[in-house]
Structure 1
Amino acid sequence: MKRALKKFFTVEKALTLTTIAVIIIAWTIVTQLGIVSDILIPSPKKVWLAFIYIIQNNYKGSSLVQHLGASMERLLIAYILAAITAIPLGLLSGYNSKVRAIIEPIIEFYRPLPPLAYYTLLVLWMGIDNGSKIALLFLASFAPIYISCMSAVLKIKADYINSAYTVGADKYQVFIHVIFPSCLPDIFVGLRTAIGVAYTTLVAAEMVAAVSGIGWMVLDASKFLRSDIIFVGIIIMGITGILLDKFIRIIEDKVVPWKGKE
């Protein structure tokens, strides 16, 4: 029991909790002293009351769970589609220079573009329903995963591959038993980066013709200067983002137990 408690209450976790407490205390002091207008930064109490109000009375006809569910549906569909396409294409591009020459220019062209720059085109092509929103999140997720996978293959030491060929392995066996396991740590880095990039794009995806979603709720509340509801939405997005990242890290610990070990 003592060992379990000691494992749970680490110095790092204590520092994390202390940081959160300091932020909340500073936030409370600033709002109580009236240093900043309540319209710009609501007090923690006001944000909490707004959260309770939305739980009890919904927001614009939909419950908080429905708003969160709508956002998660768009996000996860796009993210899963990006993962199952970007991982094999990224690995193949790192392994084959001809494939890389075909795909990399496309990725490098659209990757620096702001999402809203091409979102209007997606709406024109795919309509205002979920299709265009999922496509936008897919593109946002695809690039980080692809680049991580491609870079992971390129940095594998040639000695590892040559050693496998020396003992009689064919190209398929080299890919499955040497290249893919070596790339797993970088693949998960790409997956973690992609979920963050996709989440930041979520608000842009819900700007056009949406009536549900956490991102839409934040944008709609901003029209009425409801900073308390804006803070509720931002905090929920932050917490769910942390949970999604934590879930990926748990899978990473199971799949890549050797990461970070000599």
Structure 2
Amino acid sequence: MMKKTKRKENLRIYTYATWGIILFSWFLTTELGLVSSRLVPSPGNVIQTFIEIMNNGYNGTPLWSHIGISLYRLFISSFLAILTAIPLGLMSGYFKRFRAVIDSVVQFYRPLPPLAYYTFLILWLGIDESSKITLLYLAAFAPIYLSCVSAVANINPNYLLSAESLGASKKDVFFTVVLPASLPEVFTGLRTAIGIAYTTLVSAEMVAATSGVGWMVIDASRYLKSDVMFIGIIIMGVTGVLLDWCLRNLENKLVFWKGKQ
């Protein structure tokens, strides 16, 4: 146990050193004037702009409101994706006829770029939150669904045969064998889906939006406000890491049998 703790501490040193080098390189590059400040603002300018936005907001809207509306869109869409993709994915993996109905539809829209059908969503659902949440929902649905199908396919068939030989019904096998055995890979799909939905958030806030972190980045890019763009990117990166950290901790608590035979 102590060896494992020391190993983690050593790995953290590498992580901290990596980010220290990145920040030092950023500081040195801007201080020496190797690139234009319009393209890469200095860390000092970014911090100063961040304080100003914290105090005065951006475009008349407080920074926390921008972060809040983006996370609201992300959480609602991800919750709906989890609520639908997990049962559909597990059932598609376990029941071949069910998979024949659902899988082709998911495989068709999955490779499509979000902006390719976002215009249709706006025409059908309007410019309010419905179209944005639907776009993020579709982005998050496919990774969760595919991870569930893959998880069921990777279950040791001996587990299923053993349960059936003991008289378990299809329903019993699904809830007592398929679901627990699939959860580790399902959580991997959840983490991937949250990341994809977050990257799609910028696309969702590009059109007919006046708030959100993604909108801040897009709006700042129109006026070459690179410091505001850096702030938005840093906020999205930090919140993305925190969300992934929360999911990993939740996985460790709920799926405590992961990696154990």
- Which category describes the TM-score, using the shorter chain as reference length? over 0.9
Partner of 2:131: 132
Tell me whether 1:251 sits opposite 2:241 in the alignment: no
Partner of 1:100: 99
Q: CA deviation at 1:61?
A: 1.0
Tell me whether 1:163 sits opposite 2:162 in the alignment: yes
Partner of 1:219: 218
Q: CA deviation at 1:261?
A: 3.5
Tell me whether 1:25 sits opposite 2:36 in the alignment: no
Partner of 1:232: 231
Percent identical pairs in the alignment equals: 55
Partner of 1:147: 146
**One-letter amino acid of the structure 2 residue matched with residue 190 of structure 1:** G
Tell me whether 1:13 sits opposite 2:12 in the alignment: yes
**Any idea what the Cα deviations from partners look like across 1:224-262, whole Å, max 9, x if unmatched?**
110000000000000000000111111100011122344
- In the alignment, structure 2 segments of 5+ residues that lack a partner are none
**Any idea what the Cα deviations from partners look like across 1:115-159, whole Å, max 9, x if unmatched?**
000000000000000000000000000000000001111121211
Matches within 5 A, 1:80-99: 80-99=79-98
TM score, norm. by length of structure 1:
0.96
Tell me whether 1:195 sits opposite 2:194 in the alignment: yes
**One-letter amino acid of the structure 2 residue matched with residue 133 of structure 1:** K
Tell me whether 1:39 sits opposite 2:38 in the alignment: yes
In the alignment, the residues of structure 1 paired with residue 72 and residue 91 of structure 2 have an alpha-carbon distance, to the nearest angstrom, of 29
Tell me which stretches of 4 or more aligned residues in structure 1 moved more than 2 Å.
6-9
**Any idea what the Cα deviations from partners look like across 1:89-127, whole Å, max 9, x if unmatched?**
000000111111111111111110100000000000000
SS at match of 2:175: helix
- In the alignment, structure 1 segments of 5+ residues that lack a partner are none
SS at match of 1:197: helix
Partner of 2:121: 122
Deviates more, 1:14-23 or 1:137-146: 14-23
In the alignment, the residues of structure 2 paired with residue 8 and residue 158 of structure 1 have an alpha-carbon distance, to the nearest angstrom, of 36
In the alignment, the residues of structure 1 paired with residue 9 and residue 48 of structure 2 have an alpha-carbon distance, to the nearest angstrom, of 32
**One-letter amino acid of the structure 2 residue matched with residue 205 of structure 1:** A
In the alignment, the residues of structure 2 paired with residue 222 and residue 19 of structure 1 have an alpha-carbon distance, to the nearest angstrom, of 28
In the alignment, the residues of structure 2 paired with residue 198 and residue 156 of structure 1 have an alpha-carbon distance, to the nearest angstrom, of 28
In the alignment, the residues of structure 2 paired with residue 135 and residue 170 of structure 1 have an alpha-carbon distance, to the nearest angstrom, of 37
**Any idea what the Cα deviations from partners look like across 1:153-176, whole Å, max 9, x if unmatched?**
112121110101112211111111
The change in CA–CA distance for 1:69 and 1:7 in structure 2 (over 3 A counts) is farther
- Over the aligned positions, Cα root-mean-square deviation in angstroms equals 1.3
TM score, norm. by length of structure 2:
0.96
Deviates more, 1:212-221 or 1:166-175: 166-175
**One-letter amino acid of the structure 1 residue matched with residue 88 of structure 2:** L
In the alignment, the residues of structure 2 paired with residue 241 and residue 178 of structure 1 have an alpha-carbon distance, to the nearest angstrom, of 32
Partner of 1:78: 77
